[in-house]
Chains A and B, each alone.
Chain A
């Protein structure tokens, strides 16, 4: 089996069997404790011609629970995932992370901080950081003699 890395901070039982048992009233089910987001969320960073792009997976998180800032060559991200566990509810399994996290990501070059935009769709946060003119690839035209 080949393993790929996911954004799953705090999950301890990664080698669990694929078949999950889900039986109402199962007395032997030991509910997993709530997992705080101990680690940091995974981030993908890639380049386009016009911008530096970042994506982070934040399922179940709302816009106002996300804080993004770009200062110099650093992207700072803060996310708050509220604990929505209710009273009188029995957890048979609890794997989805809750809690707050903050991460500072070094960028490969400067970006136009004023023009940074972020969008949240279906639990995926995409950050567009337009490159400064200096960072864009420049086409150099060759003048004919």
Chain B
């Protein structure tokens, strides 16, 4: 039985760097980045994140996602086992010019953020027709 109140590590887990800021710990969410015909899709695991505390910004080619997550246990809680911390999620991406920045859209459901980054018209039309002989 683990009565350690410090954060302990399960042997099969990996580390994620978290940066201490004035307001608390930040965590870097796991993402899947997929390319489809007309858009790029970014899926980010942000358990505990809600729409009202989510900021998505795009500036000069930099896409930033930031979800503020409040602690889920009151201060002074006695932990029997504590294997992960609860805190904000933060990650930045450099987005190439092939994306129509003004048309970026996002959905958040079940702790997963889905970002749609539509490709610009020029990229879409760059399909080469293969004519039959």
Interface residue count on the A side (C-beta < 8 Å): 60
Q: Which of A40-83 contact B (CB under 8 A)?
A: 40, 42-47, 52-53, 55, 57-62
Our pick among B16, B78, B82, B123 for the contact of A25 (Cβ within 8 Å) is B123
With A7-B84, A19-B94 known as contacts, the answer to whether A96 contacts B110 (CB < 8 A) is: no
Interface contact A108-B1, CB-CB below 8 Å? yes
Interface contact A5-B35, CB-CB below 8 Å? no
B: interface residue count bin: 35 or more
Distance A122 CA – B117 CA, assembled complex (angstroms): 23
Interface contact A6-B93, CB-CB below 8 Å? no
8 A-B pairs with the lowest CB-CB distances in the bound complex, closest first: A123-B111, A39-B12, A23-B96, A123-B47, A59-B111, A24-B98, A42-B83, A57-B47
Interface contact A12-B14, CB-CB below 8 Å? yes
Interface contact A90-B112, CB-CB below 8 Å? no
With A20-B92, A93-B32, A95-B30 known as contacts, the answer to whether A60 contacts B12 (CB < 8 A) is: no
Q: Is B33 an interface residue (CB 8 A)?
A: yes
Q: Is A130 an interface residue (CB 8 A)?
A: no
Interface contact B3-A40, CB-CB below 8 Å? no
Q: CB-CB < 8 A to B93: which residues of A?
A: 19-22
Q: A22-B33, A120-B110 are in contact. List 18 more A-B contacts (CB 8 A).
A: A4-B18, A5-B15, A6-B85, A10-B14, A18-B91, A24-B98, A42-B10, A44-B83, A44-B84, A45-B82, A46-B73, A46-B80, A59-B45, A59-B47, A92-B35, A108-B80, A122-B49, A123-B46
